[in-house]
Amino acid sequence: MQRITQQAKAMLVSLSILSIALALLWLGQGWQANEAEQLTIREVSVAMLPPPPPPPPTPVQQVMADAPINLQVSGSGPSIQLTKPDVRQLTAIQPPAPVMHMARTDWQSLEVDWQAFSLDELDGLPTLLTPLSIRLPASLSRQGIKQVLIKLEILVDEQGQVTLLDVVENPHPELKPEILKMVRSSRFSAPSKGNETVRAKFIWPINISE
């Protein structure tokens, strides 16, 4: 009987220990679950941006009314009355056109005031050094003119160069271009007086023939 009682006590002790162990195990699982359910909250600081600037104010359009301006002048001073001219009564005056005078070279009235000697004052007569190259124009030849006498007043300088002073005689104006060409190409021997070269002025007769 005593042996059964001891076995029962041992069994109770074993059950008590098992119950305690189960209780501790259950408590341990609940503690871990509580620990797992806990959340960690950290404070995060966020930089605050400055607020945007306010919008510019809406411009206010000022409407200015055309108010009449009244000037009051005390006293009886002189008055000026402005009148608008009548355009229909105005007459445009056109200035006269300028008159232009064109200068014309006239070989027959050309005068040279150079001092020159005549032929009778020279030591000898100047000699033509170049061939006489002048011919009748075709217009004169068609008219049957075969010979023409012209007389030229010329000046021969110290180098024998010729300057035409005047056309003394020329019955046909068509010959004038040929005369100018001939004078430009002609040359005389240098005139002399007292063994010194001088200028000479004389009449040069030329007989032109075909």
Max Cα distance, the chain (Å) = 207
Burial of 193 (0-12, 13-18, 19+ CB in 10 A): middle
Q: Is 85 part of a structural domain of the chain?
A: no
Q: Is 137 part of a structural domain of the chain?
A: yes
Q: Is 81 part of a structural domain of the chain?
A: no
Torsion angles phi and psi, residue 181, rounded to 5 = -65, -40
pTM: 0.46
In the chain, how many domains are there?
2
Q: Is 94 part of a structural domain of the chain?
A: no
**Of the candidate ranges 39-53, 76-90, 177-191, the one whose mean pLDDT is the lowest:** 76-90
Dump pLDDT digits (tens) for 124-178.
Answer: 999 999 998 888 888 888 888 889 999 999 999 999 999 999 999 999 999 999 9
For 199, other C-beta atoms within 10 Å of its C-beta total 17
Q: Is 51 part of a structural domain of the chain?
A: no
Say if CB 155 and CB 201 are below 8 A apart. yes
Residue span of the structural domain in which 173 resides: 109-209
Query: What DSSP string runs through 97-126?
Result: PPP-------GGG-------B-GGGSSS--
Q: Is 15 part of a structural domain of the chain?
A: yes
Say if CB 196 and CB 123 are below 8 A apart. no
Confidence of residue 103 (pLDDT cuts 50, 70, 90): very low
128 strand-pairing partners:
188
Q: Is 125 part of a structural domain of the chain?
A: yes
Task: Show the DSSP H helices in the chain as ranges.
Answer: 2-37, 138-142, 176-185
